Amino acid sequence: MARALIDDCFAHHPKRLTAAEALELLRARIGPVVERETVALAEAHGRILAEQVVSARDVPGFDNVAVDGFAFSHGDLAPARPTRLALMPGRAAAGHPFSGRLARGAALRVLTGAPMPEGADTALMQEDVELDGTAVVIPPGVKRGANRRRAGEDVRAGQIALHPGTRLRPQDVGVAATLGRAALEVFRPLAVALLSTGDELREPGAPLAPGETYDANRTILFGLLRGLGCRITDFGILPDRAHAVEQALRKAAAEHDAVLTSGGASRGDEDHVVRAIERLGQLHFWQIAVKPGRPLAFGRLGRAVFIGLPGNPVAAVICFLRFARPLLTALGGGRWPEPRSFLVPADFAMRKKPDRREYLRARLIAGPDGRIRAQRIEREGSGILTSLSEADGLVEVAEDTTHIEPGDPVEFVPFSEFGVTG
Ligand code: AMP
Ligand code: MG
């Protein structure tokens, strides 16, 4: 449970954590804080499943035919030459089973989705047989059970079809539908308060005075939180004033499961967020050996979990994807996400300090040999947001790597692995 975040053991952790240690600590401590609710399938898309879905039936529910054609018993076929089978009157169609039983040496007209007629075990497409008046001629070499879909071949009765903690994609909701489920038990959306901090920030569209800049983080974070299915309250931009920051944080914490801020989370003169959390709740301030990244500030404010992201937009996004996203997912009842990386040859060279993990913005390009390569986006500053916009994902460079040469395999994590899609 998230309450465990306030355990003292957190506060006394070594000054500098590796990314893996930080993630492991969070993972071990965080669990769902949201209640369950039952929603109709149409409302279940994108929600996190709270129950284990066990199938009450076989899917498909009966052996059925996969083609428009003719059904027969494989035992009636001659092994090495064409077989002539008498066509029985009647047919089987989807939703209209054949009421009789197939006679020996006979075939029946069948349509896709029809229950396999009793006495038949095999079917052939109409294009593959010869129709000869009241008989069909089946060529040799047909396999027993061809074009038969077996009862339960998709899901068996009693089988677990969906696991709790799954973020439901359309195909997952579709599986629930095939089981006959009209509703699913899901977690209610995590309620997140979103705030920016900084005297220099203005809303996009407003005029700028000298020294001011537009708030980009709130827009990005809004999209990222929405991608996680959160219910978001926009608290706007907070000025760099201790009292205003405290008031807003207190209100945000009272009404939400989590409070997400960007900016003001260092130890500078105007970094009021961390001081406010220290006064109002419990703060953990981890130095994580990651670039780009500043200290990760998180803690607890009343019943809410607090996450303080850096102000620089690129650092804010990368910190969100790497640390805030799994944390928020777990608070909302989801399985801890493990983004997969794919080995891709580098299209760049780099030197790096040991003992820290680096995330490079990268795009995928076709190399001279036509194979995919990871190209580093050169404009690297952590305020340069267009570099993220041009990227297809991040290259994760491990702690013990000190140099990369062109052609070396690097770990590329597509943005989609962080749940970021168009
Ligand atoms: P801070 O972490 O508050 O010291 O901010 C670090 C840098 O990030 C400063 O250059 C800020 O102007 C910039 N910054 C902070 N918040 C935002 C934001 N919401 N949108 C764009 N830039 C920001
Ligand atoms: Mg600031």
Q: Verify cis geometry, omega within 30 degrees of 0, for the bond prior to 409.
A: no
Strand partners, 17: 288
pLDDT score at 286: 84
| Per-residue pLDDT tens over the stretch 324-366 | 999 999 999 999 999 999 999 999 999 999 989 999 999 999 9
Token output for 97: 């089973």
Q: Does residue 218's CB lie within 6 angstroms of at least one atom of ligand 1? A: yes
**Alpha carbon distances (Å) from 53 to 1, 104, 163, 179, 210:** 24, 42, 7, 9, 58
The atom of ligand 1 lying closest to the CA of 218 is 19
Q: Does residue 201's CB lie within 6 angstroms of at least one atom of ligand 1? A: yes
Q: What pLDDT band is residue 9 in, cutting at 50, 70 and 90? A: very low
Percentages of the chain per state (helix, strand, coil), in multiples of 5? 25, 35, 45
Q: Return the number of other C-beta atoms located less than 10 Å from residue 102's C-beta.
A: 22
Integer-rounded Cα Rg, in Å, for the chain is 30
What is the C-alpha to C-alpha distance for residues 84 and 104, in angstroms, rounded to an integer? 12
Strand stretches in 142-208, DSSP E: 148-149, 160-162, 183-187, 191-197, 201-202
Average pLDDT over residues 288-309: 90
**pTM recorded for the entire structure:** 0.92
What is the C-alpha to C-alpha distance for residues 82 and 141, in angstroms, rounded to an integer? 9
3-state secondary structure 199-228: CCEECCCCCCCCCCEECCHHHHHHHHHHHC
Cα(14) to ligand 2 centroid in Å equals 27
Cα(240) to ligand 2 centroid in Å equals 7
Q: In the predicted model, is pLDDT for residue 265 greater than 90?
A: no
Cα(268) to ligand 1 centroid in Å equals 13
Contact 216, 227 (CB under 8 A): no
337 phi/psi in degrees, rounded to 5: -75, 135
Strand partners, 81: none
Choice from 201, 218, 270, 317 to test ligand 1 binding pocket (greatest atom count within 8 A of CB): 201
| Per-residue pLDDT tens over the stretch 31-49 | 999 999 999 999 999 999 9
Q: In the predicted model, is pLDDT for residue 12 greater than 50?
A: no
pLDDT score at 287: 86
pLDDT score at 159: 98
Strand partners, 167: 48
pLDDT score at 293: 80
Average pLDDT over residues 44-66: 98
Q: Does residue 261's CB lie within 6 angstroms of at least one atom of ligand 1? A: no
| Per-residue pLDDT tens over the stretch 149-181 | 999 999 999 999 999 999 999 999 999 999 999
Q: What pLDDT band is residue 16 in, cutting at 50, 70 and 90? A: confident
pLDDT score at 14: 56
pLDDT score at 310: 92
Token output for 271: 């970094």
| C-alpha closest to that of 400 among 356, 345, 335 | 356
Q: Residues of the chain with pLDDT > 70: what percent?
A: 96
Number of the ligand closest to the Cα of 237: 1
Atom 6 (ligand 1) nearest CA: 311
Cα(167) to ligand 1 centroid in Å equals 32
Contact 312, 285 (CB under 8 A): no
pLDDT score at 13: 56
| Per-residue pLDDT tens over the stretch 182-229 | 999 999 999 999 999 999 999 999 999 999 999 999 999 999 999 999
Q: Does residue 295's CB lie within 6 angstroms of at least one atom of ligand 1? A: no
The atom of ligand 1 lying closest to the CA of 310 is 2
Choice from 312, 317, 385, 388 to test ligand 1 binding pocket (greatest atom count within 8 A of CB): 312
Q: Does residue 313's CB lie within 6 angstroms of at least one atom of ligand 1? A: yes
Q: In the predicted model, is pLDDT for residue 105 greater than 50?
A: yes
Q: Does residue 262's CB lie within 6 angstroms of at least one atom of ligand 1? A: yes
Number of the ligand closest to the Cα of 270: 2
Averaged pLDDT score across all residues of the chain: 94
| C-alpha closest to that of 296 among 327, 269, 253 | 327
Q: In the predicted model, is pLDDT for residue 57 greater than 90?
A: yes
Average pLDDT over residues 118-130: 97
Choice from 202, 224, 262, 319 to test ligand 1 binding pocket (greatest atom count within 8 A of CB): 262
Strand partners, 404: 350
Q: Does residue 263's CB lie within 6 angstroms of at least one atom of ligand 1? A: yes
Q: Does residue 215's CB lie within 6 angstroms of at least one atom of ligand 1? A: yes
